[in-house]
Structure 1
Amino acid sequence: MSPEENVATISGIYEAFAKGDVATIQAAVADDVDWAVDAEPVAPWYGQRRGKDGVASFFADIASSTEVQDFAVEGIGASDTEVFAFLRFAVRLKSTGRQASFHLHHYFRFGADGKIEYYRGSEDSAQVEHALAS
């Protein structure tokens, strides 16, 4: 796939996330995708997931625990097999009512079939942990 096609795929995923359309996201990932955000289990959506069901549970955990207030791509770069994205993200945590605003860093790797086979995300986990503290 070309860098432009890969960026289009990731842009489509971000649009689907904004609409709550997890099925579109699942269609873009490999059956055995390796998907992870941050190492420490501070937030419900943190941790490693595998496969389409794991991706669905990741987005379900975000939806059940946050109200997204801002989600915007600030920069994106790509090669024939990878996409890196830098995003602005703000949420209100449902459990505490507190808000957190920070940047997200996303890395996607595509397989030969054009599906996402590997994803890693990071964010300011200290802000998230503070917002989750009661």
Structure 2
Amino acid sequence: MAAPVLMFLGACTSAQETATSAPSSAASDPSCRTVATALFDQLLAGASPTSLAERFDEKVDWSIPGNTAVVPWIGPREGRAGVAEFYTELGQMAKVEQFTIDTIIGDGDRCVLLGDLKTTVLSTGRDITTDFAYDIEVRNGLITRYHMFEDSWAVAEALEPTAN
């Protein structure tokens, strides 16, 4: 299977372009746009859950709504340990095939990323294809708010065993 594809369409085509096109800010306080795109670049490059969790504030406001009885990796998380647990569970249960960000709205400390993704559930072999929106906030270079919105019905359905 091919490696997941991360694409940025519209105003930004890569995290590097994003970083250079963002308004200048203090080097110690990068924009939300820069921090968010760097997180997704690192995720799709295969970074460890612990490395990814280091990008988050210990008091992160984390939310991915959905049916936690069926989809164990979603729901609220607390602290870097909770973030690392999310990425561990996601990696054990699903494989991201494609991840496309086509719009980034905002800059400074808060932004919204819009796009779509395709993920294969390893236990069922079914694909989840959904649009997404991330609401992200950054302070002092760390993610303090991480809310993801997707088609949670499709995600849960892809994990359900096939009825005979």
Structure 1 CA distance for aligned equivalents of residues 59 and 81 of structure 2: 10
- Alpha-carbon offset, residue 26 of structure 1: 2.2
Structure 2 CA distance for aligned equivalents of residues 53 and 70 of structure 1: 26
Of 37-46 and 88-97, the range deviating more from structure 2: 37-46
Return the match for 1:8 from 34, 40, 44.
34
Structure 1 CA distance for aligned equivalents of residues 106 and 89 of structure 2: 28
The answer to whether the 8 A contact 1:69-1:89 is kept is: yes
Of 39-48 and 93-102, the range deviating more from structure 2: 39-48
Structure 2 CA distance for aligned equivalents of residues 78 and 29 of structure 1: 19
- Alpha-carbon offset, residue 27 of structure 1: 2.6
The answer to whether the 8 A contact 2:102-2:115 is kept is: yes
The 5 Å alignment of 1:1-134 reads 4=22, 5-21=31-47, 22-41=49-68, 42-111=70-139, 113-134=140-161
Q: Alignment identity in percent?
A: 23
One-letter code aligned to 1:8? T
Structure 2 CA distance for aligned equivalents of residues 123 and 12 of structure 1: 21
Q: TM-score, normalised by structure 2?
A: 0.73
**What SS does the aligned partner of 2:72 have?**
coil
Structure 2 CA distance for aligned equivalents of residues 45 and 9 of structure 1: 22
Moved over 3 A (4+): none
Could you say what the CA RMSD is over the residues aligned between the two structures, in angstroms? Answer: 1.9
The answer to whether the 8 A contact 2:67-2:156 is kept is: no
Q: Which has the higher helix share?
A: 1
- Alpha-carbon offset, residue 28 of structure 1: 2.0
Q: TM-score, normalised by structure 1?
A: 0.88
**What SS does the aligned partner of 2:76 have?**
strand
Q: Say which one has the larger Rg.
A: 2
**What SS does the aligned partner of 1:48 have?**
coil
Structure 2 CA distance for aligned equivalents of residues 39 and 133 of structure 1: 14
